[in-house]
A and B are shown apart, each in its own frame.
Chain A
């Protein structure tokens, strides 16, 4: 922590931090709910649930998101040096990486899961199953998985749109402070992912 007084913080940055805090609590609600179910039911770790997720695809995706955060901070540095062109280039890279992440998640992972009969609407999977049986509980895992990864993907989409807006608004080299605000929001996405990734892919 630095000795900067709160009044010195520009209002944009202050607002973004409050937004981040609010978002953290929303994600926190999901994460807490999932964690509670996860600790209650060992079935969540079974071959039919978390075990069915492809760890290495997840790792690749994490790396891509990490890279996108690096490009974003480079863009921020460029903005501090008033180098709008460089900043825009790296923001484009960030958007690209974000879209690749979404592409892998929605274009490869989810169809893969669907093919194995795991969908968010578990009506087919649980048809005729005994209440409280393992099938039922694994279906709950998939409910959580699709809900939370979907919600996270939504934030990536919003973040990309925000960055795109910043790219447009900085096209004449002004409003460069906005690069940082968009960046902070983008880092929030990474911040949430470093929790989601272990929860779904690693603890099984």
Chain B
């Protein structure tokens, strides 16, 4: 679908194929019903002295005309369910998520995003984690081709981590850390937006996701551990 924005993540094709399946099925059904409707309407408009047929639709001879389509609808629903379950579980269910190559914590705040990278010890959720945000014009920098685990949380109200090109969205909720993953497929700099109303300046809560090659990324992490201020995370 050219209407969707350019795809940047490994799951985007799956989601688009799901979209196409549903699009085809629903469009077909929509036009079938619509054509039936207008055919029925225009073939049986009021005529002088005409008499309507007495059709109750109670016996099978008549009601099969809606029971059979209904069975087809059930089959289509089943098809969509299977496909949905497949896509959903690959993306969301922890057990089926791939091993992460790199962890980053994303904290939503009124009204900016904060990205917490592992410190010198290379582990997240330790006291030497490093945080960047709009303040020190920080962006979410992640390596291309690698699986990045995003640990989403919030410090005040609900936010929603939404990157169009990843076809991915998840709320950031205070009090809990939600782990999702993304595997970028190409380098670039794309918009990160907040998709859950979080207050008056919700409309301006925008940052960038910068997808870079592995060695650029290593450079970035080094520079980070050199310069930026330390923050201590309270997670228990």
A and B touch in the complex (CB under 8 A): yes
A132 to B175, CA, bound (A): 9
Taking CB atoms, residues of chain A closer than 8 Å to B175 are 132
Tell me what chain B mostly uses at the interface: helix, strand, loop, or mixed: loop
How many Cβ-Cβ contacts under 8 Å join chain A to chain B?
A: 4
Who on chain A is nearest to B236 by CB? A132
Taking CB atoms, residues of chain A closer than 8 Å to B234 are 130-131
Categorize the interface residue count of chain B.
under 10
A130 to B236, CA, bound (A): 11
Distance in Å: Cβ of B135 to nearest Cβ of chain A: 23
Taking CB atoms, residues of chain B closer than 8 Å to A132 are 175, 236
Using an 8 Å CB-CB cutoff, how does the interface string of B192-236 with A read, 1 for contact, 0 for none?
000000000000000000000000000000000000000000101
Distance in Å: Cβ of A180 to nearest Cβ of chain B: 43
Using an 8 Å CB-CB cutoff, how does the interface string of B133-154 with A read, 1 for contact, 0 for none?
0000000000000000000000
A131 to B156, CA, bound (A): 13
Distance in Å: Cβ of A133 to nearest Cβ of chain B: 9
Q: Which of B125-175 contact A (CB under 8 A)?
A: 175
Using an 8 Å CB-CB cutoff, how does the interface string of A157-169 with B read, 1 for contact, 0 for none?
0000000000000
Who on chain A is nearest to B175 by CB? A132
Distance in Å: Cβ of B150 to nearest Cβ of chain A: 22
Top 4 nearest A-B pairs (CB, nearest first) are: A132-B236, A131-B234, A132-B175, A130-B234
**B-side interface residues toward A, CB under 8 Å?**
175, 234, 236
Question: What are 4 A-B contacts defined by CB distance under 8 Å?
Answer: A130-B234, A131-B234, A132-B175, A132-B236
